[in-house]
């Protein structure tokens, strides 16, 4: 997903997407370990998307003043 698409989502939706992508990453790693993964480039793509989501969540926390 693009960063702009993620910025348009609410915090709850971002947390849902984060859980979805973390689950997908787990499944991809499992497939890779069992030699069933066909597209190995999907792993870094998912990692990058997770990082984008975490960055945008942090930005939204900073904007709202919740500096934890």
Average pLDDT for the chain = 93
Q: What domain count does the chain have?
A: 1
Residues 6+ apart with CB under 8 A from 3: 52, 56
pLDDT of residue 2: 87
The CATH code of the domain that includes 41 is 1.10.287.310
Residue 15 lies in a domain: yes
If pLDDT is split at 50, 70 and 90, which confidence band does 65 have? confident
pLDDT of residue 67: 65
Residue 68 lies in a domain: no
Q: What angle (nearest 5°) sits at the alpha carbon of residue 16, between those of residues 13 and 20?
A: 140
Residue-range definition of the domain harbouring residue 38? 3-63
Residue 16 lies in a domain: yes
pLDDT of residue 68: 62
């Amino acid at each position: 997903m693009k960063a702009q698409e993620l910025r348009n989502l609410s915090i709850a939706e971002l947390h849902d997407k984060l859980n979805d992508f973390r689950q997908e990453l787990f499944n991809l790693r499992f497939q890779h370990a069992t030699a069933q993964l066909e597209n190995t480039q999907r792993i870094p793509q998912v990692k990058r998307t997770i990082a984008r989501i975490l960055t945008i969540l942090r930005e939204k926390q900073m904007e709202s003043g919740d500096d934890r």
